Amino acid sequence: MPNKAKIFRRIFLLIVLSAGFLFFQFTKKGKQNSAVQKSEQKIENVQSSPAVSSRVAEEATESTGTIPAAVPIFMYHYIRAYANSADPIGENLSVPPQKFEEHLKWLKENNYATVFPEYFKAPNLMTAKPIILTFDDGYQDAFDSAFPLLQKYQMSGMFYLIVNKIGTPGYLTWEEILTMQASGMVFGSHTLTHPDLRNLTPANLEKEIQESREILTQKLGQEITDFCYPSGKYTDAVTKEVKNANYQTAVTTNSGISSLKDDPLLLERLRITPKTDIATLFNR
């Protein structure tokens, strides 16, 4: 019987070993399976959430880095030396040429580059410090004073024209406008007659906004896409008509610095007076 017992013991040992081996194999496979699942999850994570977060990072770089979030728009009217205590409004709208030159010099020294209101529709990645210089009403001194100084500092301006005033005393002529255009100056509509747009009949509102654009587009040989509300006055109906007329941007006289997220048909500006100190303005 000792042999039989020996055989039984061997069989028992064999069964225990086999069971142990099978158990070991089973748990090993289980661990392998869960490891595969984990790495698959990792791959999924790489394909979904990190892609979103890297896109957010790119956008953050765009809004805070390469593309400036906001662009200051300066508002000028006359560039002339003008002292008349009986006309304080006229005095306040007149920046002497020497003062204007100081502004351009400061902007140049501080690495600002002029862009146009279209920037709000299509930002230019290459311009680190953009600024828009606007001139309302199309006065004669835009050609005589502003234009040569802008050229001297290799800058450009956006001039809003009152179409029916063009060629009348005190205002730019078509010839001057075309000369300025050939040197990189840009023009927009400031209506036909500079009325308070809030008080017009729908037909007159359409005429002031649409017809001024059509005349300028035809005379300048290029699509006019920028508008300026006379005296900064508008209502929802006015803005709607500006949009219907296919303008891409419109400036107000509301004080502020518009960001790329703002409505491009309600852009805010910084009023520049003879007393404005540009360095103070920027440090404010």
Among 136, 176, 208, 241, binds Zn ion (CB under 5 A): 136
**137 part of the interface to Zn ion, by CB under 5 A:** yes
Stretch that binds Zn ion, among 60-68, 85-93, 133-141, 149-157 (CB under 5 A): 133-141
Helical residues (DSSP H) of the chain, grouped into ranges: 2-47, 49-61, 88-92, 97-109, 141, 147-152, 174-182, 202-206, 212-220, 236-244, 278-283
As a whole number of angstroms, the distance between CA 265 and CA 248 comes to: 7
**What is the contact mask toward Zn ion in residues 59 to 88, using x (rule: CB under 5 A)?**
------------------------------
- Rounded to an integer, what is the distance from CA 202 to the centroid of its chain? 31
Nearer to Zn ion, 136 or 226 (CB): 136
Q: Counting beta carbons within 10 angstroms of the beta carbon of residue 201, is it exposed (0 to 12), middle (13 to 18) or buried (19 or more)?
A: exposed
As a whole number of angstroms, the distance between CA 225 and CA 265 comes to: 11
As a whole number of angstroms, the distance between CA 262 and CA 239 comes to: 14
Number of residues that bind Zn ion (CB under 5 A): 2
Nearer to Zn ion, 67 or 197 (CB): 197
Nearer to Zn ion, 67 or 142 (CB): 142
CB of 122 to Zn ion, least distance (A): 26
- Taking Cα atoms as reference points, which of 279, 272, 274, 277 lies closest to residue 136? 272
Nearer to Zn ion, 93 or 104 (CB): 93
Q: Give the CA angle between residues 209, 214, 215 to the nearest 5°.
A: 105
Across the strands, what pairs with 136? 160
Kindly give, in sequence order, each residue whose CB lies less than 8 Å from that of residue 254, ignoring residues fewer than 6 positions away.
232, 266, 268, 269
Stretch that binds Zn ion, among 9-17, 18-26, 131-139, 258-266 (CB under 5 A): 131-139
Nearer to Zn ion, 137 or 268 (CB): 137
Stretch that binds Zn ion, among 15-23, 24-32, 132-140, 149-157 (CB under 5 A): 132-140
**What is the contact mask toward Zn ion in residues 85 to 124, using x (rule: CB under 5 A)?**
----------------------------------------
CB of 77 to Zn ion, least distance (A): 7
Across the strands, what pairs with 271? 75
Nearer to Zn ion, 67 or 93 (CB): 93
Nearer to Zn ion, 136 or 268 (CB): 136
Name the residues that contact Zn ion, by CB under 5 A.
136-137
